Amino acid sequence: MNNTQSLRERLSKNPGVVLEGLAASAALPMNEVIECLPAAMWQRLAGEKMAELLLEMASWGDVTVIMHSSDVIMEFTGPIPAGEFSHGFFNLPGPTGLHGHLRVGNCGAIYAVERPFMGRDTASVLFTNHEGGVMFKVFLGRDSKGEISGSQLEALHRFFASDAATFG
């Protein structure tokens, strides 16, 4: 049995594991691990939709942006600022809160992932580079009851449905 077959079986039984850990132990890029999740849990768009999706997300309100490396898991909760192209980057402006400079041309694919994690339903967007590594993730916000924001989830579904998304 190859790595991906084994991962598919494992993730069908327990999709709520830390995917980065699985990717490292299986020596696979994250995009391959994501695509081993049960088919109903993920969708993929082409990476060239990155700036368009980030502009859409700027209207969603508070989300949690996560950068996960072997050394740190960094999280920011708040709104994504409306970005703009300048000097070869897609810039997220602002003196405080989330801001930075993104090389959107490095985005190979965008995944919408809905799966249980730590006992809760989650919905996230994972931006992957051309090598299959995760650039960063955006988790949808939660309402006062701790449930995924319904309006954000609808907006995510609408965005992925409006384009040629590949379904798991």
Whether the pTM exceeds 0.85: the reply is yes
SS3 (DSSP) at 87: coil
- Angle at 112 (CA atoms; ends 24, 52), nearest 5 degrees: 115
pLDDT at 168 (0 to 100):
61
d(CA 48, CA 106): 9
Say which CATH number the domain at 103 has: 3.40.1570.10
pLDDT digits (tens, 9 = 90+) for 39-90: 999 999 999 999 999 999 999 999 999 999 889 999 999 999 999 999 989 9
- Structural domain contains residue 90: yes
pLDDT in the model for residue 69: 86
Reported as a single tens digit per residue, the pLDDT across 124-145 is 999 999 999 999 999 999 999 9
Question: Considering the domain boundaries, does residue 3 fall inside one?
Answer: no
**Does a structural domain hold residue 108?**
yes
Q: Give the pLDDT band (50/70/90) at residue 167.
A: low
29 found inside a domain: no
The pLDDT of residue 162 is: 86
Please give the tally of structural domains in the chain: 1
DSSP string, 45-78: EEGGGHHHHHHHHTTS--EEEEEE-SS-EEEEEE
Confidence category of residue 102, pLDDT binned at 50, 70, 90: very high
Tokens of 165: 């998304």
Residue 35 resides in a domain? no
Distance CA 6, CA 158 (A): 33
Tokens of 112: 């919408």
Structural domain of residue 49, as residue ranges?
40-167
Give the position of tokens 């049960």: 38
The answer to the question of residue 54 being in a domain is yes
Confirm whether 107 is domain-assigned: yes
Amino acid symbol at 57: M
Asked, for residue 72, whether it belongs to a domain, the answer is: yes
Q: What average pLDDT does the structure give for the chain?
A: 93
pLDDT for res 166: 66
**Which among 90, 110, 109, 111 is positioned nearest to 99, based on CA atoms?**
90
Share of the chain above pLDDT 70, in %: 95
| Percent residues over pLDDT 90 in the chain | 85
Strand (E) or helix (H) holding 8: helix 3-13
Q: Which two tokens stand for residue 166?
A: 């590949």
